[in-house]
Structure 1
Amino acid sequence: MSNTIKPMLFHCLQHNHTSQRLRVIQCSPHYPRPLLWGQDEQGHIHPLPLTSDFSNKWSIATSPGLFARDPARILGCLLGGAAGDALGAAVEFMSWTNILYEFGSQGIRAMTKAYGRKGAITDDTQMMLFTAEGLLRAVVRAESRGICHPPAVVHHALLRWLLTQNISPTTNVGKDGWLIKESALWARRAPGNTCVNALRLSSSFGEPAVNNSKGCGGVMRVAPCAFFSGAFELASDTARLTHGHPTGYLAAGLFADILQRIWQHSMSLLEACSSSLKEHGDLPGMAETKTILELVLKLHQEGARPTPKGIEKLGGGWVAEEALAIGLWCALCAHNLEDGITMAVNHSGDSDSTGMIAGNLLGLIHGPEAIPAHWLAELELREVITQMAADISFVPAVYDDNENTDISLWIEERYPGW
């Protein structure tokens, strides 16, 4: 292949003669020859051999924009969430008064050292990644075995996360797949006690938590559910693995459902939130979440922008409905992704989780190009997150257990179906 073009994940390729556009969603250097996989605007997957004349046929598009179900939106969702998590990590346990003293009247706006480095992610991003891994392994299991309970497979993945915290679960846990081998994930980043205890005590995969917690540890990790069928039920059921209070898991379902409506139907954030509440708002156990989200929609309609004091009136974001409400309010009122995330982290509360929720929403809407370059340059695990986003597009579209191909075997090795 000519050195004049070196496509990478999520580059947009444009055919030099037909103007066809493809988003690169996988690079397979050993299959059995170098190969790219691209997705077109209709969702079709195209294998592209990296032959000597590749650069005569394809160019990397500059400023290509986003199409409706562009895989780059998935990358934006995951990276935006991680960026919000990392920005908020340095101030998670600080009051607004202390944030003012430390960072000035604008609050924190640049990555600041936390956990020994700038751009450090927390347990929020770690658990988001393991949730995504479990969802992809569930795809492999369903295809290869014909039967699957996805929350059980996600549960197994979250137990692998627990191992990275040097905590031994009650049940046996497989250590296969690629994600657990990422050494940077083996780091304790203030994991929530509810998540740790619920996972540690679970005796079987898919077993709901036996507690009455509605902490935000369920809602903050479920964004990947938006890109799989039945996002509301899937996110609710996976959040319920650690959080037993209805608000704790139904708020998670609503968050994933809002994201899925934006992703699948190109709704605005306001439309997605309103329609999701219309469909799910009257479910038993949804009252707390419905009430606070309706308040946020009213504030937005009145033109009220989030301020640290205004956010404080909603709460600290330590519980599920408050975290979702704060992240949603900041995303609704944001001039751009950076504006929304900085509003979401500058308050006296759970800044990393509210920043992550706002970042998931705004990253999906605006794509990864909207994330400030100086944030991305320092963001921990950026390459891992990028690969996971690519796999969310690639694995469900390509994996076929009936075809004993090199690529299916490669997927099974990375995402064993259990």
Structure 2
Amino acid sequence: MTRVTAEQLATARGCVLGLMLGDAIGATGGKVPASGPLRATSAGQLACFTIEGIIRANIRGTHKGICHPPSVVRHAYARWAAMQGIPGIKRWKEEGWPDGWLAQVPVLTVRRGSAPATVSALQSQPNWGAEDSEWTSVGAHGLTRTLPAGLVEWWGPQPGRFAAEVASTTHGQEAADAAALGVTVIANLAKRQDVLKSAELAQRECQSLVRVMTGLPLSSAIHAGRDHPRQAKVLAQLAPDARAASALAGAVYVALSFPDRAQLRDALMFAASVPHGMHVAATAGAFLGAAHGVDALPVDLVSRMELVWVADVLAQDLLTEFVDGPSGSGYGDAADPHWWDRYPGW
């Protein structure tokens, strides 16, 4: 019997499926075709591997006691890149790698756009921490792929710190700052705060973490959402490019502009409609899905997502790992004897 509550499950599924739906709608520029599959981009694919990496990091820590979670998540990105056939990716094992159930999903081998900063970092430094490297990318993948980390309680009290560390394995400081803030917004939403309160709290809670986005970095988006909601020109000004910081600001604005659960479809269409709205839509989808729960997502669109089953399983397994610990530990038997095979803890 699981100890996961219905509220926790609705929030986690809403966040992950909302992110994936926003990613898919963003790829269409807000012009969703009337029929056919809604495909994830590389951002959605990487978010799946973030969740898998988080689960595997927790399993490793539980069973072996020694773990550097950001490195385990980075290893998950290496599996994604290997499955995509990207050259120059280190093989961690000659046989049976990539491993885990996610490596068996055929659609994750299909390239859906690029992730140049992530790929470049994986190619140039296969083992994170083996040498000192300072990445410089400010791209939005450093934010979007980390957002599900806000759904679980980590070893430390600041989920934003972990998110920044994960982003820093491939991206520069500004993207790491955005990841810290975005994940902290998700963590506050999971505690049943509304979007406004979650964003305001994230600014204060991350003051000791951020190095570039100092002060109150979400204030402009918060004020714009309150005073000038649902204006494409304002959104374009807040998100003028594909930076992580722009995606974060734009998503806060969108979420505040469309606060009601019945407006979620309109929110994602609006987010995707501006020139650099793809990552805004993914981030806004995660925020609004976490805020309103999975039942607020438009069923007709969710049912067309090519990764809907994968994302839904991952969201549920993420909670199961942290709440129920199905793989057991060095001191207890596994409740699920197949859990380790699904998520090898190394």
Same fold (TM over 0.5): yes
From 209, 216, 225, the counterpart of 1:300: 225
Q: Which residue of 2 aligns with 1:75?
A: 13
Distance 2:135 2:215 in 1: 19
RMSD of aligned alpha carbons: 2.0
CA contact (8 A) 2:4 2:319 kept: no
Distance 1:209 1:272, change over 3 A: farther
CA displacement at 1:175 relative to structure 2? 1.2
> Which residue identity lines up with residue 329 of structure 1 in the other structure?
Y
Distance 2:90 2:216 in 1: 36
Distance 1:309 1:187, change over 3 A: same
CA displacement at 1:40 relative to structure 2? 5.7
CA contact (8 A) 2:144 2:279 kept: yes
Q: When the two structures are superposed, what TM-score results if normalisation uses the length of structure 2?
A: 0.89
Q: Which residue of 1 aligns with 2:69?
A: 150
SS of the aligned residue for 1:344 comes to helix
Structure 1, gaps ≥5 residues long: 1-36, 42-65, 92-106
CA displacement at 1:284 relative to structure 2? 5.2
**Range with bigger deviation, 375-384 or 160-169:** 160-169
Distance 1:269 1:359, change over 3 A: same
CA displacement at 1:169 relative to structure 2? 4.1
| Superimposed CA distance per residue, residues 91-131 of structure 1 (whole angstroms, 9 cap, x where no aligned partner) | 2xxxxxxxxxxxxxxx63x3468xxx530110011000000
SS of the aligned residue for 1:379 comes to coil
Distance 1:256 1:112, change over 3 A: farther
Q: Which residue of 1 aligns with 2:165?
A: 237
Structure 2, gaps ≥5 residues long: none
From 90, 100, 105, the counterpart of 2:28: 90
Alignment of 1:129 with 2:129, yes or no, is: no
CA contact (8 A) 2:17 2:312 kept: yes
Distance 1:352 1:88 in 2: 4
Q: Which residue of 2 aligns with 1:314?
A: 238
SS of the aligned residue for 1:188 comes to coil
Q: When the two structures are superposed, what TM-score results if normalisation uses the length of structure 1?
A: 0.75
Alignment of 1:141 with 2:60, yes or no, is: yes
Distance 1:144 1:272 in 2: 34
From 125, 143, 154, the counterpart of 1:219: 143
From 115, 120, 123, the counterpart of 1:192: 115
Alignment of 1:383 with 2:309, yes or no, is: yes
From 257, 264, 267, the counterpart of 2:193: 267
CA contact (8 A) 1:170 1:202 kept: no
> Which residue identity lines up with residue 233 of structure 1 in the other structure?
R
From 201, 213, 216, the counterpart of 2:124: 201
SS of the aligned residue for 1:148 comes to coil
Alignment of 1:354 with 2:292, yes or no, is: no
> Which residue identity lines up with residue 221 of structure 1 in the other structure?
R
Larger radius of gyration: 1
Aligned length: 331
CA displacement at 1:287 relative to structure 2? 2.9
Q: Which residue of 1 aligns with 2:202?
A: 276
More contact order relative to length (CA 8 Å, sep ≥ 6): 2
CA contact (8 A) 2:53 2:72 kept: yes
Alignment of 1:410 with 2:334, yes or no, is: no
Q: Which residue of 1 aligns with 2:83?
A: 164
CA contact (8 A) 1:153 1:206 kept: no
CA contact (8 A) 1:86 1:111 kept: no
**Range with bigger deviation, 75-84 or 159-168:** 159-168
The structure in which a higher percent of residues are helix is 2
